[in-house]
Amino acid sequence: MDAEALKALQAPLKEQYRQEPTAAMITLHAEARLDSAAVACRIETGRGLIAAGLHPATGGDGSLACSGDMLLEALVACAGVTLRAVATALAVELRDAVVRAEGDLDFRGTLGVAKDAPVGFRQIRLIFEVDTDDPADRVETLLRLTERYCVVLQTLRTPLEVATEVRPLKD
């Protein structure tokens, strides 16, 4: 896809959202069903089921997806798609690119071993490796706009309210 095709694809959406801002407000959904026999759950995606369970550092055997890994995977997926879209819009030629995420966890927190150890990532590093002949200033613009428009990155960087509630199961 080139810049003109991307603009043509997004133009009617952008116009609709300018004219009717509420049309741009969409609620995304995710659901997991707990496994009845193991410390695991099944997440339905548009592409099939994912079985998630304990990370080996918390007693898992490594055969199930780890939610921490899935968070990093969501980050690199979003950043990769955003990088490609921004590169297309700016006509930055990327011959190849790799987006990596690394996150540091202290599992003492999640296991309740040390009250002073945080539960969750202490730091996440998002690394972009790009193969391009475009000048450094264009690559810097590409990165800046990718960071600005990456939904998962901005969600992680910006504190937000996450409400929790318990409801009776309706099957």
Architecture of domain 66-157: 2-Layer Sandwich (3.30)
Over residues 52-78, mean pLDDT: 92
> What secondary structure letter does DSSP report for 111?
T
Least confident of 27-31, 57-61, 132-136, 154-158: 27-31
Q: Which helix (H) or strand (E) holds 105?
A: strand 96-105
CB atoms within 10 A of CB 55: 18
Round to whole Å and give the CA distance between 44 and 166: 20
Over residues 31-35, mean pLDDT: 80
Structure token digits, residue 147: 């960071």
How far is residue 109 CA from its own chain's centroid?
A: 23
Q: What are the extents of the domains in the chain? A: 66-157
Helix (H, G, I), strand (E, B) or coil at 38: coil
